[in-house]
Every structure is written in C-alpha cells, then in structure tokens.
Structure 1
Amino acid sequence: MNNNINQLKWGAILSYFSMGISLAIGLVYTPLMIRLLGKNEFGLYSTVSSTISMLGILNLGFGSGYIRYYAKYKRNNDMDAIYRLNGLFLMIFIVIGLVAAVCGTFLSFHLDWIFDEGLTGAEYQKARILMLMLTVNMAISFPMSVFTNIINANEKFVFLKIFGIITTVIGPMVNVPILLMGYKSVALVASSLVLGLIYHVVTVYYVLVVLKNKFVFRSLEKGIFVGLFSYTIFIFLNTIIDQINWNIDKLLLARFIGTAEVAVYSVGYSLYAHYMQFSTAISGIFTPRIHRIVNETQDDKETQRVQLTELFTRVGRVQFLILALIATGIIFFGQVFILDYWAGPGYENSYFVTLLLTIPASIALIQNIGIEIQRAMNIHQFRSVIYAVMAIVNLMLSIYLCQIYGAVGSAIGTAISLILANGFIMNIFYQKKCNIDMFYFWKEIMKLCRGLVIPIGVGIIMHKYIRVMSILSFLVSVLVYMIVYIVSMWIFGMNQYEKNLIGKPFKKLKYRG
C-alpha cells in the first residue's frame, strides 16, 4: 500500500515536472519550428497530423476497458486471468493496427476527398508522404499501447513519467538540428517515427522483464467481448466526438481557406494543449484508485459518495489552483507573448483562438477525473450522447463561422459547444447519477475564487498601464503576477492540505540543510 501511495505521490510530482519541461521546450521549440518550416508548411504539418490522428478512433475505447478488467481480476488475485486478458487485448490491438494501416493508406491516396482545392499541387504531394509515414507510426502504436496500459494498471507511474520526460527532451534535441540543416516536415515525421520505435521497445522490455507479465493466447475468455463491447461502445463514441471537437476545425480551415489559416489556429490550439496537459497529467494517475473505490463500495453508496466527492473535490481544487494561474496569465500576457516572443506578426488572431478554447474548457478540465468515475460505474453512455449532440452543433457552427471569421470562427463554434456540454449538462449529471455532491464541489471552488480578486486587479493594472519593451521586462511582469497570485491564494484561497502540498517539500529541504 505504501508503495502505491509513493507511486501516486511521485507520479503526480513527476507529471507536473514533465508538463513544466514540455511547456518550456514548447516555448522555445515551437516558434523555431514555425519560422524554419514557414507558415504554410507548418499549417500543412499540423493539418496532416490532425487528419491522421482521427484514426485514433479505431481504439474503440478498449484501452480504458483493460484497466477496468485488470482491476476486477487483480482484486481476486487471479493472475492467470490477467495473463489471458493481456493476450486478448494484444490480439485486439494488432487487428486494430492493421485496420489503421489500411485506412491510412487509403486516405493518403484520396486526400482530395478531404481538402478539395484547399491545398496546392506541391502541398498534396508532400501531404501524401507525411500521411503514409504517420500511418505507419499509428499502426505500430496501437498494439504497443497495450504495454503502456499494463504499466499504468500496475501503477508504475514513476517509470512512465520519467521515461516520458526523457522522450520529451530528446525529441526537440533531435529535431532542431534537422531543421537547422534545412530539412522540413518529412524529416520531422521520420525522426518521430524512429524515436517512437525506441519508446515502444523500452516499454515492451519493462513489461516482460521488469514486471514479468505474460501474454497467454489460449483459453481466451471470449465472453469478455460482449461486456467489453457494451462498456467501450460509448467510449468509442466519445473518442469520435473528441476528434470532431479538436481536429475538425483544422480540416475545415484547410478546405475552405488554406494552410496559412490552419497555422494561425494551430498556434492558439498549441497553447491550449499545454494548458490542458496540466490538468490531465494528474487526473490520469488516479484512474486505478477510482476503479478501486467504485468496486469496493458498490454495496455502500453513502461511503462511495463521501470518498468520490472528497477525491473529486481535492483533485479539482488543486487543478483549479494551477489552471487559474495559467488562464489568467494568458488573458493578461498572452497577446504580447504570441506576437512579440513566440509566433510573431501574422498570428494576431491566435490569441483569441487561445482564449476561446481555454476559458470554456476550464470547467471540464478541473472535473476531468469525473470521466473515469463514469467509466468505473459503467454510466459513461450519457456523456457520450450529450457530447455527440454538441459535436454536431460545433461542426455546423464551425462550417459557417470559419468561412466568415477564419480561425476565430472555428474556435467560437467549439467554445459554444463546450459551455453547453460541460458548463451545464454534465454538472447536473455528476450530481444526479455519479454520486458526487456537486454543490459541495462548487462551494469549495468558490472559496478559491476569493484568492483571484487581487491577482485579477493587479493583472488589469499591469495590462493597462505597464508597457512591455523587452523580454526581460515581460518576464519580470509575469514573475510579479505569479508572486501576487501565489500569495493571494495562500492567504485567501488555499486550505491546509493544499498549503502542506507546497510547504512540506520546502520544510524537508530546510531540515536537510
């Protein structure tokens, strides 16, 4: 038990450390990539990446299903069943990988169906090469994802996070020299393919040698398919919805306007993606614990409500503390950052894209462990249906708005769907069906909002009266704002648990010194 707690603790710490490194690298690497690739090629690279990522729907939601069945067998200490489960899932994902290879190859030779006249002849030729290479990467990643799921189910978060940090650092270290030598997007994808293969080899070794897991392909429990299908069908639907919400905008912009506008949207989305990672990093660590709570309290709904509400609120408050700092920072400093120090002139609308994606999504991001709670309870169907309706709304709005307002129009469509689905409908569902006290949750979040008053006031004054003239003055302004935010939250927002999260490491360092 202590080992599991340490894995959770260090997994969370390493998650945020990884996010910090990823953000720092992104702040340096992304503008370099934009300038060396050029606006149109960067837009093409982003468009093709988004197109091929839509094949991720072939996962069918089975990845989450593995952890659910693993928790069930682990509770009974049935290792033979776990080994058969490993074999079954590996076979499933090998088949999925083959299907992905066929679909990706087909799309590569029919790109005109997707982009129509949105790409030039040269762009079509390069897009086809990129598509084929990314298809190979996708086809391999499907069966290899089983090994990552096994490591995650065994709660070996420290290994996953440390290895993730290493790969995050190595990628740009390889890609920057490639770009400086004059190579373009095809070379970037080739290097990613090679690094991905190395990553997969290491995870396979860890599962087979370190964890000593086995894959049994005989006496497979074919009856699992029925339960697995009923469990994952709505996760699959939700995956399709996510692909529509987060990738369709780029495809629409490429089709109706061109790759340059895709680049504008991609810059704004890139900042949002970093923002989102700071939420999803910690929530993923609690997946095994959520399934354990739900399984162990099936016959005691009151205990379940207390434990789930406590976990939901505690994680949500920590996520809010981090995300509110980043979100308000983007509001006050994002425009200067994007235009003067990151993407450069020509990306003015990227700031508004970032705001339209970031602020509406914040409600869902501080509640994202609720997704796994629904899956653990096998009541995730409602969310999928609601999100399906919202995805259609998003698609219809974006088709119309992107042709008028470009990248900003696409982001408006996404923002409206996020507010309706996450801001209203899902909160009612959490209260009524997920056994979570949402009134208590929002009461606790509002306590944190008291600490936002002073930072927002200071941010408005800085934005209005302080003119940033250099990178040094920009960094000083951001640092001052961060200090004001932390002090204000410490005094007016944080509870003792959150103060201890920050204070204990410093006390230990002081004691050791």
Structure 2
Amino acid sequence: MTETSNKQIKTAAIISYISIVFNIITGLIYTPWMVNSIGKSDYGLYVLVSSFLIYFTIDFGLGQAIARFLAKYRAENNEQKVNQLLSITTKIYLLISLIMLIALVVVFFFLQNIFLQLNSAEIEKFKTIYVIAGLFSLVSFPFMSLNGVFIAFERFVVLKLCDIFSKIGVILFMVIALLLGYKLYAIIAINAFIGIIVILFKLIYLFKTTAIKIDLKYKSKALTKELFGFSAWTSVLGIAQRLIINIAPTLLGIYSGTTAIAVFSIGMLIESYVWTFASALNGLFLPKVSGLLSTSENREQVLQLMVKVGRIQLFIIGILYIGMITLGQEFIVLWMGPKFANSYPIVLMLIFPGFFTLTQEIASTLLYVENKIKFKAIIFMVAAIMSILLSVFLIPYFGALGAAMGIVISLLIFEVIIINIFYQKIMKINIIYFFKACLLKMAPSLAIALGFGFAVNYYIPATNFVVFFIKASIIALVYIVVMWFFSLNKYEKELILSIYKKFTPNKLS
C-alpha cells in the first residue's frame, strides 16, 4: 500500500464522517419538518416506494464482483483486463435494465392488489411516485457499478465528495420545493434529478482521469463465466441483506398501513445513520486486503488489520449506541413528537446486532477477496426467510414493533452467532482473539459510560433540545475521557490527535 493510497484512505474517511455528520444534522432538522409538510400518510408512501423499488434495482452482485476483479487486475497492472471487464458488465447491466422495464410495467397494473391496506387516494398517489421513481431506477441502474470502479481505482476522495454534493443538493432543492408548496411528487422528482447529475459527473470524471474504454462489441465467454461465477452468490447475499430490513415497509404496507410504515421508518432511518457512521470506512480497505493476500497468505496480518479497524469502528459507534440507549426515547419525542414514541424500541432492536457486526468489515472484505461468500449468502438467505416469516406472523399483532422483532431475532441467530462460527471454522480467522482484543478490552469503558448516561438521563430530564444537547455533550465528553484513559492504545490516540491537528490550524505558524 503506497503512502499516497494510505493518505487517500485517511482523507476519504475524514470526508465520509463530515458527510455523515452533515447528513445526520440536516436529517434531524429536515425530517420532522418534511413529515409535517407532506403529512404522515404521504411520508409513509415515500418510504414505501423507496423500499419497494429496491427489489427492482438489485445489481445481482455485479457491483461487488466488479470492485473485486478491478482491484485484482490493477494489482497485476493489467489495464486491458480492466477495460474488457467493464465492457462486458456494461452490456449485462443494459440487458438487466430491459428486463427491469418489463417487470416494472407488469407490477404497475397490480399495485392495488398488492397493497390492500392502502386506500384509493393513497393508491393513486403511490402509482404516480412509482412511475417517477421507477423511471429513475431504470436510468441509474446501468451505472450502479461506478462506485466499485472508484474504489478499485482508489479515487476515494472524489467518491466521498460526490456523496456530500448529492446530500446537499437533495436537501437544498427539497426545502425550496416544500416552501413553494410542492409536496410528495416534487420530493421524488428531486431525488431522481440529483441522482442523474451525480451519475453524469462520475462518468465524465472517470473517462477524463483514467484509461477506461468501453467497447460494447467485445465478447468473452470465459470472463463472463468467471464474473457470474463470483457474482451469483454475491447476488444471493445482496438480495438476502435487503430482504431482512428493507422489505419491512412493504410487509407493513400489505398487513398494516402507512401509519405503521411511518413509525417503523423512523427506526429504520436512525439505524441507517448508525450503520452509515460505522461503515464509512467500508470498501476503503479492499485494495489493501487484496494486496496482503496477493503477497502472502498470512492470516495474522489480516487479523491484526481487522482488530485495528474494528477497535476504531467500535470507538466511533460506541458513543452512538450509548447515546441512543440512554437518550433515544427522549430524543425521538423531542424530534418527531409523541406520536413517534413507539419508534424507540424499534431503533434499539434494529441497531443491536450491529454492535457485533459493524466492527467486522475486514472479515467481510476478506470473503470477497477470496471468493468465499457462498456460505455467508446461504446464511443470510435463511435469515431473510426467517425474518419475513416472523414479521408476517407478528405484524398483525404488534404492527411496526412486530416487524422489528422478526428482524432482530433472525439477525442475532444468523448474522451474529452463525456467521462468526463460519469466520472461525471456515475462514480460519481467530474470531475469539478478535472479540477479546476489540469488544472485551473496550467493554468496561463502554459499561462505565453507559451507566453514567443512564444516571444523567434519570436525574436531568429534558423538555427541550437545549437541555438535551447539554446532556448529550456531557455523556459524550465522559465517554471520550473514559475511553482515552482506559481503552485506547497508543496508535488509536495518535490517530485521533492527527485528525484533530488536521482541522486545527497551527497558531504559531
């Protein structure tokens, strides 16, 4: 890994977290205002169309396959293979888009038969936003591999800057549209418009700064077979992962209604913030792990990298978990109002498995590098089936809470317990050592900060955001102090100080 590459990773990580902080802050301010502007029912429809169309835009594992093969070819300095791979995948994406178009048209005529809990007015609105969002899905689908190309070419900084531009653009235009009196339809259209602008920029950037050339006439049965051999199980894994959580709004639309969707979506939104914060580093280490394995089959190096990254991620998400557990219900009521208080237990259930899984990015990356994702795909598919069955059974009795219960039970059994057995036994990763070096060593500090958080929340109830943020700041400060003195090692402290210095100008200069 070159010094330039390491610098790219550090800079991209910093930009990622800036983007995430911006996204969370604007989301906290914007989301309740948007819900009040368009209404709880329309917000439920907005979430429903987003989650429903996800299943028509699955890239069948091609994105991960492209990132993996491109990283491999670039490590071998084989630029010809890079262009050949992208030529083939472009044609595959275009073919899938045609199939998607047919599927979307057919489904359109059966929407009223699928979502029986929606009234006639909601169905009419849903059909309109379905068409808008569906057209964008068709246009954007052939370019889903762009992020994988950016990662393989180690253009992390530009990729993360595109994410920031996208978020700023969407929020800015949505605010303007809502202030002008436009409602649900404008929100969907703005998302599509900004998405297309970002795609165009990425295409122009890659063609101008790399030697990529797409030849739609190029054919290779061997490369196509190799690509699908890898992507087949990646596809199964991708579908399963989406079925576990993202299908919940669809199930709620079928068995409950838009109100339950809205309540669940707040829990899903907060869970996505936690996941995004923890996974900001994801993908940045694919070239590095590929490089380690191309030079040596040394599992010890991979394990040490896994511990190093895992501890950093645990330090980052630790404060989010502690804050959400101790202050979550109070925050949701202040943020969205008492009508969304039931979102709190949903949040806790959705984020709980991630406490274990979000720190294991390197192990997940290793699966793709070594093309050993078949077993993980099977695990997640069984988990998805179990989650759906449990949710279908529980939703009629518990609504949105029932959906969350089905999800957390499945994830704990399969994504936490069984997958770690797989890492230990099949992948030969010393997962027991990882948990000792990462979770166990940091657990006492996390427990102290958690206990302090409960005490602060009990003795200082917050009736407004000023008091709430004071409480949150106190808990965060204590968390950092406790972690600094009792858990962080020399490398982690130096890393934090280097980031601090990067954003603090030298006053003596």
Q: Decide whether aligned partners of structure 1 residues 147 and 259 sit closer, same or farther in structure 2, where only a CA change above 3 A counts.
A: same
The alpha-carbon deviation at position 481 of structure 1 amounts to: 0.3
Q: Does 1:163 align with 2:168?
A: no
Q: Give the alignment's TM-score, normalised by structure 2.
A: 0.96
Counterparts of 1:115-126 in structure 2, within 5 Å, are 115=115, 117-126=116-125
Question: Which residue of structure 2 lines up, in the alignment, with residue 395 of structure 1?
Answer: 388
Aligned counterpart, 1:45: 46
Conservation of the 8 A alpha-carbon contact between 1:104 and 1:131: no
1:308 alignment partner, SS class: helix
Equivalent runs, 1:172-183 vs 2, <5 Å: 172-183=171-182
Q: How many angstroms apart in 2 are the aligned matches of 1:507 and 1:345?
A: 42
1:405 aligns with 2:385: no
Letter in 2 for 1:90: T
SS at match of 1:284: coil
Q: Tell me, in whole angstroms, the C-alpha distance in 2 between the residues paired with 1:370 and 1:142.
A: 28
1:14 is matched with 15
Gaps of 5+ in 1: none
Aligned CA distance change for structure 1 residues 191 and 219 (closer, same or farther; 3 Å): closer
Match of 2:361 in 1: 368
Determine the structure 2 residue equivalent to 1:314: 308
Matched, 1:154 2:148: no
Give, in whole Å, the separation in 1 of the partners of 2:424 and 2:507: 46
Q: Is the 8 A contact 1:383 1:426 kept in 2?
A: yes
In structure 2, the partner of 1:351 is 344
Give the counterpart letter for 2:304 in structure 1.
E
Cα deviation, residue 511, structure 1:
4.6
Identify the residue that residue 423 of structure 1 maps to in structure 2.
416
1:229 aligns with 2:228: yes
The CA deviation at 1:504 is 2.2
Q: Distance in 2 between matches of 1:100 and 1:328?
A: 42
Q: CA deviation at 1:317?
A: 0.8
CA distance in 2, matches of 1:293, 1:112: 53
User: CA-to-partner distance for each residue in 1:462-496, whole Å, 9 max, x for gaps?
Assistant: 12221213221111000000000000000111111
Match of 2:372, SS state, is: coil
2:3 maps to: 2
Match of 2:250 in 1: 251
Matched residues in 1 for 2:102 and 2:498: separation?
53
Cα RMSD over matched residues?
1.5
Paired with 1:187 and 1:211, the residues of 2 have a C-alpha distance of: 36
Flag the 1:510–1:147 CA change in 2: closer, same or farther, 3 A.
Answer: closer
DSSP 3-state at the match of 1:467: coil
Please tell me the residue identity of whatever aligns with 1:347: F
Is structure 2 residue 329 aligned with structure 1 residue 328? no
Of the structure 1 ranges 227-236 and 257-266, higher mean CA displacement relative to structure 2 is found in 227-236
Distance in 1, Cα, partners of 2:16 & 2:501: 22
> In the comparison of the two structures, how many residue pairs are matched?
505
CA–CA separation in structure 1 for the residues paired with 2:483 and 2:126 = 48
Q: Of residues 376, 381, 387 in structure 2, which corresponds to 1:383?
A: 376
Q: Does 1:211 align with 2:204?
A: no
TM-score scaled by length of structure 1 = 0.95
Q: Distance in 2 between matches of 1:390 and 1:136?
A: 31
What residue is the counterpart of 1:433 in the other structure?
A: 426
Contact 2:90 2:216 in 1 (8 A): no
SS at match of 1:126: helix
Give 1:189 shift. Answer: 0.9
Pick one of 484, 495, 499 that aligns with 1:490. 484
CA deviation string 1:382-426 (max 9, x = no partner): 011111111111111111111111111110110001111122111
Aligned to 1:78: 78
> How many angstroms does 1:510 deviate by?
6.5
Q: What corresponds to 1:279 in structure 2?
A: 278
Are 1:91 and 2:129 matched, yes or no? no
1:219 positional shift: 4.1
- Between 1:21-30 and 1:225-234, the stretch displaced more is 225-234
Q: Residue 285 of structure 1 aligns to a residue in which SS? A: coil
User: Structure 1 residues 382, 24: CA separation in 2 closer, same or farther (over 3 Å shift)?
Assistant: same
Shift of 1:371: 2.0
- Distance of aligned partners of 1:339 and 1:137 in 2 relative to their CA distance in 1, 3 Å threshold: same
1:457 aligns with 2:451: yes
Alpha-carbon offset, residue 188 of structure 1: 0.7
Number of the residue aligned with 1:270: 269
Q: Distance in 2 between matches of 1:103 and 1:362?
A: 37
What residue is the counterpart of 1:133 in the other structure? 132
Q: 2:35, 2:43 within 8 Å by CA — same for their partners in 1?
A: yes
Given that 1:84 and 1:218 are in contact with CA atoms closer than 8 Å, whether structure 2 keeps it comes out as no
Contact 1:109 1:128 survives alignment (8 Å) = no
2:332 matched to which residue of 1? 338
Distance 1:286 1:506 in 2: 22
| 129 and 510 in structure 1: CA distance in 2 versus 1, 3 angstrom threshold | closer
> CA offset at residue 218 of structure 1?
4.0
Residue 352 of structure 2 aligns to a residue whose secondary structure is helix
| Unmatched runs of 5 consecutive residues or more in structure 2 | none
Letter in 2 for 1:26: G
Query: What is the Cα deviation at residue 114 of structure 1?
Result: 2.2
Deviation of the 1:21 alpha carbon: 1.0
Q: Which residue of 2 aligns with 1:29?
A: 30
Is contact 2:71–2:286 with CA below 8 Å preserved after alignment?
no
1:418-454 Cα distance to aligned partner (Å, 9 max, x none): 1111221111111122232212211112111121132
- CA–CA separation in structure 1 for the residues paired with 2:87 and 2:285: 25
Asked if the contact 2:151/2:283 (under 8 Å) is kept, the reply is no
Task: Select between 390-399 and 147-156 the one with higher mean Cα deviation.
Answer: 147-156
The AA in structure 2 aligned to 1:494 is: L
Deviation per CA, 1:189-215: give whole Å up to 9, x if none.
111111111111101100111224211
1:240, 1:113 → 2: CA distance? 24
Q: d(CA) in 1 for partners of 2:220 and 2:74?
A: 16
CA distance in 2, matches of 1:261, 1:309: 43
Deviations 1:226-259 (A, max 9, x none): 2222211111111221221112211121111110
Shift of the alpha carbon at 1:360?
A: 2.0
User: Is 2:8–2:156's contact at 8 Å kept on the other side of the alignment?
Assistant: yes
On the 8 A contact 1:361/1:418 being kept in 2, the answer is: no
- Report SS of the residue matched to 1:223: helix
The answer to whether the 8 A contact 1:268-1:353 is kept is: yes
- For residues 6 and 152 of structure 1, the distance between their equivalents in structure 2, rounded to whole angstroms, comes to 14
Q: CA deviation at 1:99?
A: 2.0
CA contact (8 A) 2:44 2:262 kept: yes
Q: Would you say the 8 A contact 2:278–2:358 is kept in 1?
A: yes
Letter in 2 for 1:45: Y
C-alpha contact 1:43 1:262 (8 A) present in aligned 2: yes
Task: Give the share of equivalent positions with the same residue, in percent.
Answer: 31
Q: What is the DSSP-based 3-state SS (H/G/I as helix, E as strand, rest coil) of the residue aligned with 1:469?
A: coil
Shift of 1:274: 0.6
